[in-house]
Amino acid sequence: METVLLYLGYFFVSLGAAFLFLGAFGIFRMPDFYTRLQAGTKSSTLGAMSLILGVGLMQPEWFFKTLIIIIFIAISNPISSHALARGAYKTHQKPLTDTIDAYEEVAEENDNKKEE
Amino acid sequence: MENVSNISKLFYTWIILFIVWLAFTSTLAIEEVITGLIVSLIVALLSFRFFTGTGLGIFAPKKIFYLTQYFFVFIGALIKANFHVAKIVLSPSLPINPGIVEFETKLKSDFAKMVLANSITLTPGTFTVDIVENRFYIHWLEVEATDEESVYKEIAEGFEKILLKIYE
């Protein structure tokens, strides 16, 4: 049983490391801030979650603590990326786009309000 | 859902905090459990007003069922999202077509909106830039449609259907 858990732990840790690597690679390859954030958020969330789950499986007495950490990551990671995106837009970081930017009007409206 | 009594909120907060305590101490020794009950009650008394909007109502069997369903839908979407990003990052031509789209949600409570926004952030190719009243602004890596109707169908419908049953 313990060996099974240990190898399952190795599996999850390697998977997490692979996703974190892909996330870093994505940040390197993407063309602008928002698309980089896309790559960063998703892979860092699942990467960190599976890495910590792997550690929890290797050390069964930590398992429940790692579960709590995973829940905290799942809640806090998207919020931080949301705050980054909103902050970037408020400081006039225009997204690279060929199709549509629906948020532009709202941001302009807010700017005008601030000036008044 | 609007008028949840304070008692129900307090007990809900107490239970959740106590479960967190049990997970952190990872033991059922009687002195640990008693300390946990007291400490979590004190913290619950201080924080129950801000901690929850739903109270004990969330533990109804039907809602538990939908919460579980939501959990699996969410995990599935999260894993799909990662392979999706991996595929884009590793393909030499970098097939992206980014843009910010908008749609309107039917959800009313703030907490449900937050859950929806967070879920959208962790699903394939999308993340939430801002929420104004009940309009969501979503950055989309591969824009497939620009009109609200199909954007809503494509991004939010799967999650919102379940959330409506849980929170409304």
Higher pLDDT, A14 or B142: A14
Total beta-carbon pairs less than 8 A apart between chain A and chain B? 133
More confident residue, B29 or B151: B29
Q: For B116-154, what is each residue's pLDDT tens digit? A: 888 888 877 788 888 887 788 888 887 777 777 777 777
Collapsed DSSP state (helix, strand, coil) of residue B130: strand
Place of tokens 């698309």: A35
Mutate to test the interface with A, among B90, B130, B146 (most CBs of A within 10 A): B130
Q: Are B85 and A39 in contact (CB under 8 A)?
A: yes
| Residue A73 forms contact with B (CB below 8 Å) | no
- Quote the DSSP letter at residue A69: H
The confidence score (pLDDT) of residue A39 equals: 82
Domain boundaries, chain B: 6-58, 60-167
Cβ of residue A91 closer than 8 Å to a chain B Cβ: no
pTM listed for this prediction: 0.80
Model confidence pLDDT, tens digit, residues A30-57 = 888 888 888 888 888 888 999 999 999 9
Long-range contacts of B89-92 (CB under 8 A, 24+ apart): B89/A22, B89/A25, B89/A26, B89/A29, B89/A30, B89/A39, B90/A22, B90/A25
Say what the pLDDT of residue A98 is. 67
List the single best residue of B94, B137, B154 to mutate versus A (max A Cβ within 10 A).
B137
Give the SS3 label for residue B98: coil
B chain contacts of residue A65, beta-carbon cutoff 8 Å: 23-24, 26
- Give the rounded percent of residues in chain A with a pLDDT score beyond 70: 89
Q: Is the dihedral of CA A46, A48, A49, A51 positive or negative?
A: positive
B55: left (phi over 0), alpha (psi -120 to 50) or beta: left
CB distance A38–B139 less than 8 Å?
Answer: yes
Q: For position A12, what pLDDT does the model report?
A: 92
